[in-house]
Structure 1
């Protein structure tokens, strides 16, 4: 049971870390100490009181990662309102829908996103506030929010005539069972669902991070994951701000080149990462090096191989800043070939498992105890796991979880809530997997994407796609079933194709060779009968997951 009150964690944390650096914008170099964060939050609380924001009112935020995004987020939570973070990658129609569906009354927004929104589609909204400088972009007739914001410095001095100090930090008295955040999932089957997370859910994630010493007073982190997503939110904001970490916000798309430069400069103590980034670095930088003839020969010689792997590990560690304890990978499955290589060279990484509905953490293991191909151990003391299988240690079944981190439900969607949360409080994740004796989770694939083989075998297309995506000249793939056979839709890596002078005719020959090679690594019932080239990248959610449902009935085969 979580005993710490979620909001009070930050009341205490800001006081204790008053003079420490808290937030820095990597691009503009604008920085805030914990004292300055507390002051900015206090100013926004003056606004909320002026607007008569009540407990349960929703405040939405959409924009790129910046210190002011974090301050707006924390101001809503510490006031006692419900914050609605929205992924900036959502299109305008989705943003209109989420703001309206969530009943948000205020919207903090990035200026570029604001340009594409239509005010008349933002129902119930009383005002829109710029994330650039907290100026009022628009307000409903009869409101005087713009005036309050423009006079904020005067209002602040009037409220705190002797200056703002630690003792002035007094945040909302709100029990942990209350909803404090509604996180809209990206969804792959229509409009996204609003996940209602309580103070207890977020305190469970935060306290686990604190007890695990993921962040600590004076440590550094580079935030480059979307803060509107549960993974980045929990471990790039909530845990760091609770303990006095200095967070640098990258605020731009983390291409390998941009990210590695920033990591070298910031030198973080912990790196929270998604698989795509490591996979790109592996394919673009490490794999070409390993494929050089001399190196290929050397890694097959005992003693030489360990020296070479040690050199590669050092280069990779240095490239990531050189000071981190471990890289925690989550948000999607890590490619097995990449994982096996990183484990072989003893790179300090681990793979965790979570979902928005758990805010997000379900399982995690420190890198020194990580078991390859696993997704970590269920959070002891916080969560329970059950595999719906007659033999959960050997036969995959749906992974069900229960505990402190499990959401209250989907906002205004009881039907969707009932579909995943049973009467006993078990959340049906939709993921298929097994466990071992110490409750380490091994994920096999999604329940909904599983294909039933000709003799009743369970086929997980994600596993086949992972093998395809490791092959040369393939950027991404999607395995579907057609007339009882497995077809692989493939979007080629045209950059690699052009670099190697391969003609359009030769691509087809190369793909057939790839198909045979991949089939040699698969069970007979998993064999791909055909590779079909796809003309464009697959359509994805803001979380960069392929929208599979768009391709299940692909007709050009």
Structure 2
């Protein structure tokens, strides 16, 4: 069994709760911009300093108290509402809590990324109650189901979501108050008809006036760092999604881990792109960046990413592979349009060679390319796998790209590449003070764990003589203060996820190399187990399929054939413009504008080539292709189960087997 404890790379203080973290930052970076945003696309920028941000949170919380939207016990200054008089031995530890105290308010926040969203979420955390950030793309039924599950009594929303709120409120009797985040006119109109509606701006103005007059109640609310602070639902249908309970200590500790792992300059300009309800953006993009005094610019629309990068001279972004891939394609389109591919590749080779001897002039050589991206210098990429060739591309032109890994249950960050060690195909080194082990029953007798407690590896004689020995793979397990309290109202799954020793079993499979870098090879629940017991991780094959020109996305899974053997099969989402010319000429299908016979011949030929690179048991037996987008989460990961179900429905409608459709087009219109 391999195990390692992440080491510290950068000195940063550790706080027990998020309020203490922001209070410290508001003092250290008082006049630095904390947030910059626009009230309308391409409009003038609004600036909020760290001190103003702190003041706005205090004011909003005070406004909630004055308006009696929340109630607090008499002795709220000195004790938490739900802290037990006698704490159990495992109080605040991983897996110790699956429920929420009924005395505490549950306050949901839903809407586009915005400054009011951030202020509201933090006012919830700083004393109003348990914050429940929700996915802005939830359907009506999903929103209703999650509000019921969490027993939410206050919901804060943007104007876009009002029609949904209006439709479901009658069926949610526990929902008592409604706060409009971004439209005072709508809020005043609704409040005139119904006193249960409130205006975010009005509450904040009321609070500012009260604080000026000496009201300190909100700032003196006691925060128990080990109680549930946030309830975050994972991706999935409302019935299947898990509610993850995170404490202040979980989130604040993980934010400090990010700050102690990455060396980013004070005052750096960042762009917030990912949905704030997701822990990657929430913990790393909000709290992690506070530690550096970073100025976060809130992107108003994905259509304006390029404009905002340039206009705000953005230096740092936290993003998912789909965004990086879009930037990559944008750069290559420009290079091809200018017919400068050869010069560009020669420049890459030259800068790469000079970098090896300590000369870094990448940003000078590629200035014309980099000018398209503002002042972009650093990217942290997570939530899904990134093609290593794309990561290498950005590093070669002078943008440090660091891939990372985590999951909601670990608040979320587990590992990340950084300024000291950046191994492109890995997901980096383990976070400071986090224990990680590779749990494998197939541990060879010759292997010894070579990682000491600092996270550095010692000399391994066996590895020296046999460097190509396949590394030991197993389930990735982590233990530390960032591991969740538990799953909401689900003690059974909590016990399955977190064992008696406090190890969180991630469900991901991977290995550690000699430098202590983590590699992800697959997911336990998507693993294909063949009849002979061999295991295939579809993610490994999908990554290779996506290297085929014209393949935008790939999904692999296993299906039983007529002989009751398991076949590895795949569905390919194509980009017609990237296919060979033969696929878009000749006899074209009137709907897809593709030559299906040519596409089939091309894809099957490419898959045959790919199979020669795979072990025989991993061979792709059958494939279909489509032009329809795969079903994705808000962080642009494929909803595997739903996409497979959609494929089965399409086959059922056509009364065909996957084998019979091998090499053919399968559209979503075929699924009835």
1:115 to 163, 171, 194: 163
Contact 1:421 1:428 in 2 (8 A): yes
**Range 153-162 or range 303-312, more displaced:** 303-312
For the aligned residues, what is the CA RMSD? 3.5
Structure 1 residues 269-290: Cα deviation after superposition (integer angstroms, max 9, x where no partner): 4221211112233345438958
- Alpha-carbon distance in structure 1 between the residues aligned to 2:156 and 2:634: 19
Aligned counterpart, 1:261: 307
Report the Cα offset of residue 353 of structure 1. 0.8
Q: Deviations over 1:139-178 (max 9, x none)?
A: 899966649975764564244237x9xx998353213211
TM-superposed deviation, 1:319: 3.4
Task: Give the whole-Å Cα distance in 1 for the aligned partners of 2:119 and 2:419.
Answer: 32
Equivalences, count = 550
Going from structure 1 to structure 2, the CA distance change for 1:496 and 1:243 (only over 3 Å counts) comes to closer
SS in 2 for 1:116: helix
**Which residue of structure 2 aligns with residue 61 of structure 1?**
109
Looking at structure 2, the residues matched to 244 and 40 of structure 1 have their Cα atoms a distance apart, in angstroms, of 17
Residues of 1 paired with 2:395 and 2:24: CA distance? Answer: 39
CA contact (8 A) 1:490 1:534 kept: yes
Answer whether contact 2:272 2:299 (CA < 8 A) is retained. yes
Deviates more, 1:452-461 or 1:140-149: 140-149
Unaligned runs of 5+ in 2: 1-12, 73-80, 82-103, 356-361, 448-470, 586-593, 652-657, 659-672
* 144-153 or 28-37, larger mean C-alpha shift: 144-153
SS of 2:153's equivalent in the other structure is: strand
Does residue 1:129 correspond to 2:176, yes or no?
no
Match of 2:318 in 1: 272
Q: Paired residue for 1:450?
A: 527
Q: Distance in 1 between matches of 2:203 and 2:367?
A: 54
C-alpha distance in 2 between matches for 1:491 and 1:196? 36
Candidates 504, 507, 530, aligned match of 2:595? 504
Provide Cα deviations, 1:270-329, integer angstroms capped at 9, x if missing partner: 2212111122333454389589998469958996685899588555544333352x2111
Determine which structure has greater relative contact order: mean sequence separation of CA pairs < 8 Å that are 6+ residues apart, divided by chain length.
2
1:475 corresponding residue in structure 2: 552
Alignment of 1:411-490 (within 5 A): 411-453=488-530, 455-482=532-559, 483=561, 484-490=566-572
The equivalent of 2:248 in structure 1 is: 199
Could you tell me whether the CA contact under 8 Å between 1:201 and 1:406 is conserved in 2? yes
Q: Quote how far apart the aligned CAs of 1:357 are.
A: 0.7
Is residue 375–residue 442 contact of structure 1 (8 Å, CA) maintained in 2? yes
- Structure 1 residue 14 displacement after superposition: 2.2
Equivalence for 2:213: 161
Residues 189 and 549 in structure 1, CA contact (< 8 A), matched pair in contact too:
no
Point out the more displaced range, 514-523 or 295-304: 295-304
In 2, the alpha carbon distance for the partners of 1:191 and 1:222 equals 32
Q: C-alpha separation between the residues in 1 aligned to 2:241 and 2:349?
A: 53
Cα distance change, pair 15–391 in 1 and its aligned pair in 2 (3 A):
same
CA distance in 1, matches of 2:317, 2:131: 26
SS at match of 2:155: strand
Aligned to 1:41: 57
Q: Provide closer, same or farther for how the CA distance between residues 13 and 300 of structure 1 changes in structure 2, counting only shifts above 3 A.
A: closer
1:536 to 1:512, Cα distance in 2 relative to 1, 3 A: same
Distance (whole Å) between structure 1 residues aligned to residue 157 and residue 293 of structure 2:
27
The answer (yes or no) to whether the contact 2:568–2:621 under 8 Å persists in 1 is yes
1:540 is displaced (CA, Å) by 2.1
TM-score scaled by structure 1?
Answer: 0.87
Larger deviation, residues 179-188 vs 491-500:
491-500
Cα offset for 1:369? 0.7
Residue 389 of structure 1 deviates from its aligned partner by 3.9
CA spacing shift, 1:415–1:476, aligned 2, 3 Å: same
Quick check: 1:87 aligned with 2:135?
yes
User: Residue 257 of structure 2 aligns with which residue?
Assistant: 208
> SS where residue 430 of structure 2 aligns?
coil
- 8 Å contact kept, 1:198–1:407: yes
Q: What is aligned with 2:149?
A: 101
SS at match of 2:144: helix
Q: How far apart are 1:18 and its partner, in Å?
A: 3.0
1:137–1:300 CA distance, 2 compared to 1 (3 A): same
1:322 aligned residue: 375
Seen in structure 2, the aligned counterparts of structure 1 residues 340 and 81 have a Cα distance that, compared at 3 Å, is same
Is 1:353 the counterpart of 2:405? The answer is: yes
Mapped contact 1:14–1:242 kept (Cα < 8 A) = no
**Map of 1:138-287 to 2, 5 A cutoff?**
146=198, 153=205, 156-161=208-213, 170=219, 172-187=221-236, 190-212=239-261, 214-215=263-264, 217-253=266-302, 258-283=304-329, 285-286=331-332
Asked if the contact 2:36/2:47 (under 8 Å) is kept, the reply is yes
Q: Secondary structure of the residue that 1:395 maps to in structure 2?
A: coil
Partner of residue 540, structure 1: 632
Cα contact 2:179–2:200 (8 A) shared by 1:
no
Could you say which residue in structure 2 is the equivalent of 1:520? 612
Contact 1:7 1:172 in 2 (8 A): no
Deviation sequence 1:376-407 (CA, Å, 0-9, x none): 11113134334334338723211111111100
Equivalent pair of 2:110/2:156 in contact (CA under 8 Å): yes
The yes-or-no answer on 1:51 pairing with 2:69 is yes
| Cα distance in 2 for residues equivalent to 1:53 and 1:65 | 28
For 2:296 and 2:189, how far apart are their aligned partners in 1? 28
Q: Distance in 2 between matches of 1:513 and 1:171?
A: 68
Gaps of 5+ in 1: none
Supply the distance in 2 between the matched residues of 1:18 and 1:226 (Cα, whole angstroms): 26
Whole-Å separation in 1 of the counterparts to 2:634 and 2:538: 21
* Cα distance between partner residues in 2 of 1:151 and 1:453: 60
1:312–1:190 distance in 2 versus 1, CA, 3 Å: farther
Q: Aligned in 2, Cα 1:298/1:213: closer, same or farther, shift over 3 Å? A: closer
Q: Is the alpha carbon distance of 1:496 and 1:404 closer, same or farther for their aligned partners in structure 2, counting shifts above 3 Å?
A: same
Deviating more after overlay: 438-447 vs 514-523: 514-523
Q: Partner of 1:363 in structure 2?
A: 415
The CA distance in 1 between the partners of 2:200 and 2:425, in whole Å, is: 55
Counterpart Cα distance in 1 of 2:200 and 2:135: 28
SS of the aligned residue for 2:126 comes to helix
Secondary structure at the aligned position of 1:366 is classed as: coil
- Determine helix, strand or coil for the equivalent of 1:422: coil
Which of 13, 17, 20 is 2:25 aligned to?
A: 13
